[in-house]
């Protein structure tokens, strides 16, 4: 996934990857190769370092897939309290946002691979803490949310910066497709295995086993990350970068920040609520594991199709169809919230989500690579992007907390789900002018 054209406007960045890979100054030169239209798709094979980065990403997502959903079930079984789950997620989101902003300086000015490794190891520490607390974990959701947010923030901040450096506009959809395949694969098998093990053991023994397995997977991910090449920081971190760009009237990145906020609104609640609803409907962890198996299998096929056939010229129309689909699959809940309607929602979401997230991710990073000044501020732009996502997640979670506190009825929760589940429409509306072939989008949205 290399950018083969080196810019004459600025020297290539020191990447630590094999020669020619991740030279984002080259990406800027490439973006002007042709007037209008779409550049030929890159056919350069992925290097061993890029595959290793994907492997670390796969281990990180697998570790979370093994226990992520079941942590919420574990807390639910201890307290039977929706608000508790909401506060756990809210603290996690605030912790992530603060981590992105503060640790941006470390990633910008020092070895960003150390931040990635720290993220994997802190995530491992989260499951170690859950194991130590045992049934008292429900009393310590503030601590758990803080640690989980810290680990996730460190990992995704450094991963997204490195991802930008080793891809270009032609290769991002493919990279995201491969990452989605790995995520769907782990999301398919890991929760099914966890549900199977928990259902075959006593409550506490089963949960302790899967939390231990997650801890071991994160440790493996941390070890694998030490084989990634060192990537030194460059430049000085601008603490006030995000508010400056978000305040710009009619600015490109003001729109992008709000688009990321729209994406986050949905993620903040659906990330934990659907799994809990499946468990409440069935009363069985193995059923939740089978739900993940079925929906992730659908996602595996969809991510494969997106990675293989989803070209930049398809983004605008494809993303609109996807967000409409993501909204429509919520409607069966107004009939009845049961396993069948949850499965319809899960399969529908899995089929549509890649055609929504792939263009959102690719396009936002294409904008970072549109000129040398943006490239030199890539860490700040990644922080801006992730802060938008986390502000959206927090807003969605706060709306959930208000709803369950004042009107915890099935109808109220369904209306809330439809409202926040349609937030991708806002993301599409704000991004519609960017969803073009990368060269055209970079020229028309310059500034």
Mean pLDDT of all residues in the chain?
Answer: 81
**pLDDT, position 47:** 67
H-assigned helices in 283-377: 285-309, 315-328, 339-368, 372-376
Q: Report pLDDT for 169.
A: 67
Is the pLDDT at 393 greater than 80? The verdict is yes
How much is the pTM? Answer: 0.80
Using left for φ > 0, alpha for ψ between -120 and 50, and beta otherwise, residue 328 falls in alpha
Q: Does the pLDDT at position 126 exceed 70? A: yes
* Cα–Cα distance, 240 to 233 (Å, whole number): 19
User: Closest by alpha carbon to 417, among 350, 341, 346, 333?
Assistant: 333
So what's the pLDDT on residue 364?
A: 83
Per DSSP, 34 falls in state S
pLDDT value for 437: 52
Cα dihedral across residues 329, 332, 334, 339: positive or negative: negative
Residue 173: pLDDT band (50, 70, 90) is low
pLDDT at residue 171, as a whole number: 67
pLDDT confidence of 413, banded at 50, 70, 90?
Answer: very high
In sequence order, the 6+-apart residues with CB closer than 8 A to the CB of 163 are 53, 175, 365
Instruction: Confirm if 150 and 126 have CB atoms less than 8 A apart.
Output: no
Question: Per-residue pLDDT tens for 309-319?
Answer: 777 777 788 88
Out of 71-85, 160-174, 266-280, pick the least confident.
160-174
DSSP state of 46: P
The answer to whether position 14 is within a domain reads no
In the predicted structure, residue 421 carries a pLDDT above the cut 60: yes
Which residues constitute the domain of residue 332? 44-228+238-444
Query: Per the domain annotation, does 8 fall within a domain?
Result: no
Rg (CA), the chain: 21
Does residue 10 belong to any structural domain of this protein?
A: no
- Percentage of the chain beyond pLDDT 70 is 85
For the residues 297-303, what does the mean pLDDT come to?
Answer: 85
- At residue 45 the predicted structure's pLDDT band, cuts being 50, 70 and 90, is low
List all residues 6 or more positions away from 356 whose beta carbon is below 8 Å from its beta carbon.
Answer: 319, 322, 323, 326, 424, 427
- Residue 375 inside a domain? The answer is yes
Half-sphere exposure of 430 (CA within 13 A, CB side): 21
- Checking if the pLDDT of 5 tops 90, the result is no
Least confident residue range of 30-44, 164-178, 332-346: 30-44
Measured from the Cβ of residue 445, the count of other Cβ atoms closer than 10 Å reads 18
Q: What is the pLDDT of residues 216-265, one digit of tens each?
A: 999 998 888 888 877 777 788 888 888 888 888 777 888 889 999 999 99
DSSP secondary structure code for residue 330 in this structure = T
* Confidence check: pLDDT of 23 > 70: no
The 10s digit of each residue's pLDDT in 111-125 is 888 889 999 999 999
SS3 432: coil
Q: Is residue 9 part of a domain?
A: no
Name the region of 234 (left: φ>0; alpha: ψ -120 to 50; beta: rest): beta
Residue 115 · residue 230 · CB < 8 Å: no
386 in any annotated domain: yes
Digit-coded pLDDT (tens) for 207-221: 999 999 999 999 998
CATH number at residue 386: 1.20.1250.20
Q: What is the domain count for the chain? A: 1
C-alpha–C-alpha distance, residues 61 and 210, integer Å:
14
Q: What was the pLDDT predicted at 391?
A: 94
Give the mean model confidence (pLDDT) for residues 293-297: 90
From CA 255, how far away is CA 363, in angstroms rounded?
13
Q: What's 21's DSSP letter?
A: S
Phi, then psi, of 245 in degrees rounded to 5: -75, -35
pLDDT tens readout for residues 364-373 = 888 888 778 7
Determine the Cα–Cα distance for residues 438 and 40; give it in Å rounded to an integer: 12
Residue 37 lies in a domain: no
* pLDDT tens per residue, range 275-289: 999 999 998 899 999
pLDDT at 445 over 50: no
**Candidate ranges 31-45, 174-188, 400-414, 432-446; pick with highest mean pLDDT:** 400-414
Task: Convert the pLDDT of each residue in 351-391 to its tens digit.
Answer: 999 889 888 887 888 888 877 878 888 888 889 999 999 99
Name the nearest CA neighbour of 221 among 87, 80, 121: 121
Please indicate, yes or no, if residue 25 is contained in any of the structural domains: no
Cα–Cα distance measured from residue 258 to residue 255, given in angstroms and rounded to the nearest whole number? 5
pLDDT band at 110 (very low <50, low <70, confident <90, very high): confident
Give me the pLDDT at residue 46, please: 59
The neighbour count for residue 10, using CB atoms within 10 Å, is: 16
């Amino acid at each position: 996934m290399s950018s083969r054209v080196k810019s004459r406007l600025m020297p290539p960045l020191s990447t630590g990857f094999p020669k020619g890979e991740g030279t984002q100054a080259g990406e800027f030169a490439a973006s002007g190769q042709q007037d209008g239209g779409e550049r030929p798709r890159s056919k350069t094979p992925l290097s061993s370092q890029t595959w290793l980065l994907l492997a670390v990403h796969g281990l990180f997502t697998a570790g979370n897939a093994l226990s992520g959903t079941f942590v919420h079930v574990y807390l639910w079984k201890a307290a039977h309290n929706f608000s508790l789950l909401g506060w756990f997620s809210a603290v996690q989101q605030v912790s992530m946002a603060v981590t992105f902003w503060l640790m941006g300086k470390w990633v910008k000015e020092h070895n960003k691979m150390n931040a990635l490794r720290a993220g994997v190891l802190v995530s491992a520490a989260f499951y170690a803490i859950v194991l130590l607390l045992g049934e008292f974990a429900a009393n310590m959701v503030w601590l758990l949310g803080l640690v989980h947010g810290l680990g996730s923030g460190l990992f995704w901040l450094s991963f997204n910066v490195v991802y930008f450096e080793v891809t270009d506009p032609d290769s991002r959809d493919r990279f995201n497709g491969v990452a989605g395949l790995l995520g769907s694969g782990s999301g398919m098998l890991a929760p099914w295995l966890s549900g199977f093990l928990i259902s075959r053991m006593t409550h506490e023994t089963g949960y302790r086993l899967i939390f231990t397995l997650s801890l071991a997977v994160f440790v493996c991910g941390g070890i694998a990350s030490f084989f990634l090449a060192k990537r030194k920081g460059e430049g000085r971190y601008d603490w006030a970068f995000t508010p400056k760009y978000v305040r710009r009237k009619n600015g490109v990145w003001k729109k992008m920040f709000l688009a990321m906020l729209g994406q986050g609104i949905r993620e903040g609640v659906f990330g934990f609520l659907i799994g809990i609803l499946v468990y409440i409907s069935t009363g069985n962890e193995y059923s939740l594991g089978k739900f993940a198996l079925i929906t992730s299998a659908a996602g595996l096929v969809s991510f494969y199709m997106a990675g293989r056939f989803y070209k930049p010229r398809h983004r605008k129309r494809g993303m609109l169809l996807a967000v409409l689909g993501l909204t429509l699959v919520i409607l069966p809940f107004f009939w009845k919230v049961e396993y069948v309607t949850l499965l319809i929602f899960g399969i529908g979401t899995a089929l549509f989500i890649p055609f929504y997230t792939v263009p959102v991710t690719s396009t936002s990073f294409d904008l970072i690579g549109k000129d040398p000044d943006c490239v030199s501020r890539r860490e700040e732009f990644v922080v801006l992007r992730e802060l938008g996502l986390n502000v959206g997640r927090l807003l969605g979670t706060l709306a959930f907390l208000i709803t369950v506190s004042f009107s915890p009825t099935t109808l109220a929760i369904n209306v809330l789900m439809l409202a926040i589940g349609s937030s991708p429409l806002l993301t599409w509306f704000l991004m519609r002018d960017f969803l073009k072939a990368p060269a055209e989008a970079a020229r028309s949205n310059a500034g």
